[in-house]
Amino acid sequence: MVHQTLYIAIPAMDEKDYLFQTLDCIVNQQCSCPIRVFVCVNQPEAWWDDDEKIFICENNQKTIVWLQNYKNLSIEIIDCSSKGKGWKNKKNGVGQARKELTNKILSVASDNDIFISMDADTLFGKDYFQSIVENFHTHPSAVGIAVPYYHKKNDSEVENKAMLRYELYLRNYNLHLLRIGSPHAYTALGSAICCTVKACRAVGGFDSQTSGEDFYFLQKLVKYGNIIRYNNSKVYPATRFSSRVPFGTGPAMYNGSQGDWDSYPIFHYSGFDSIEHVYKQIERLFYEDFESDFLDFLQIVFSGENSWQPLRKNYKTLSSFTKAFHTKADGLRIFQFLRQHQRKLQKTDEQCLLENMQRTYPEKYINFFLEKDLFSFQKSSVEQLDSLRNFFMERETIYQKLYDETIYR
């Protein structure tokens, strides 16, 4: 077996009360490989002069001291928090922190090592790291893993309901992409991404977006090679409100608790069916143009140019053309199309969920929605939403395993 080191990358901002639990999970790992942990403690430099933000700077300083004295693990600290060392440009969020971590790790790691992206409030079992190692050994051609996740409930009904609503958004989206066989079927969580160092280096690591850096990183990995969708061990991100980033789990939960889910709709199955319609006719597109909602949208996005004739000219085989098509019609374009399609439908999230269940899981529909007029994200109990979340997770697991078996058989 090839010698490998696991490089763990953890951004931390105002995380002193959570980080120790994540580090304890690392300490307790039963893994055959050496482990090196890097933590980037960070915040904008300007916050030192902001009365409303200086408490975060002070929390970060306590975090650094605490990390320096942490006895159970050797930790390499990247200080982007102390006075004079904070972010000084507009790209001053978690994406910049992940980029700093990536750059540091790539400067010392070998291509055959493994890069594990994590958050400072994420928990996982003792077998997590070993499961990653074994997954890569089982699938040696894979460049990365989109690790399965599961938000655990806490003692707050408000936070739990917001978390479950957000997870239903994520899982509904991924389930339909898996259903239609999209290569862009993955859930992008910064706490649930692993890749080979070789792949990380090849795609240029994380970009420094203020937020959404995990999505764009996974998209680059998918364009570079195949990623694994299923892993035996999950990660358990924290369930809590947060405003540290413009979008993502924390702000989605907070905005949702205030009644604003506009950025996280329950996408209707018909939008995915429109994409699937094109997927099934890529061989036809290889030879000729044809009209479809998804292709028409892509033409507009690409400034009205004939996007497919250049691909036909440059990619002479159907397999190379298909890969080029999916590179062009990538995860971002899929998401943009679905957003536009959703706006045209003018259906509520409840209507979309009910119709999705009727269309995709009719045998289970009656179990969850005896009287559809009674279902409401706002009025449903935590137990009802949790039961639905768990059903989605179980279906997602089945699809993920099937997807991996198809790609790597």
DSSP 88-105: -SS--SHHHHHHHHHHHH
Average pLDDT, the chain: 90
pLDDT in tens, 288-300: 999 999 999 999 9
At residue 278, does pLDDT exceed 90? yes
In the numeric block, the tokens 């943009």 are attached to 336
Tokens of 385: 């939403």
User: Cα(400)–Cα(406) distance, rounded to whole angstroms?
Assistant: 10
Please list the helix, strand and coil fractions of the chain in percent, rounded to the nearest 5, in that order: 50, 10, 40
Can you give the pLDDT at residue 364?
A: 75
Query: Rounded to the nearest 10 degrees, how much is the dihedral formed by the CA atoms of 7, 94, 214, 15?
Result: 70
pTM: predicted TM-score of the whole model, two decimal places: 0.92
Instruction: Of 273, 316, 309, 310, give the one whose Cα is nearest residue 292.
Output: 273
Tokens of 255: 């905005």
Phi and psi angles of residue 14, each rounded to the nearest 5 degrees, phi first = 60, 45
Can you give the pLDDT at residue 362?
A: 82
Instruction: Of 129, 95, 111, give the one whose Cα is nearest residue 215.
Output: 95
pLDDT category at 259 given cuts 50, 70, 90 is low
Can you give the pLDDT at residue 81?
A: 96
Beta bridge partners of 250: none
User: Cα(228)–Cα(140) distance, rounded to whole angstroms?
Assistant: 11
Listed by start position, the domains of the chain span 6-149+187-257, 269-408
Q: Say which amino acid occupies 144.
A: G
Can you give the pLDDT at residue 366?
A: 63
Query: CATH classification of 6-149+187-257 is 3.90.550.10, yes or no?
Result: yes
Tokens of 159: 């936070």
pLDDT in tens, 329-356: 999 999 999 999 999 998 999 999 989 9
DSSP 2-59: ----EEEEEEESS-HHHHHHHHHHHHT---SS-EEEEEEEE-BGGGGG-TTTHHHHHH
pLDDT in tens, 118-177: 999 999 999 999 999 999 999 999 999 999 999 999 988 988 999 999 999 999 999 999
Strands 144-146 and 193-196, bridge-based pairing: antiparallel
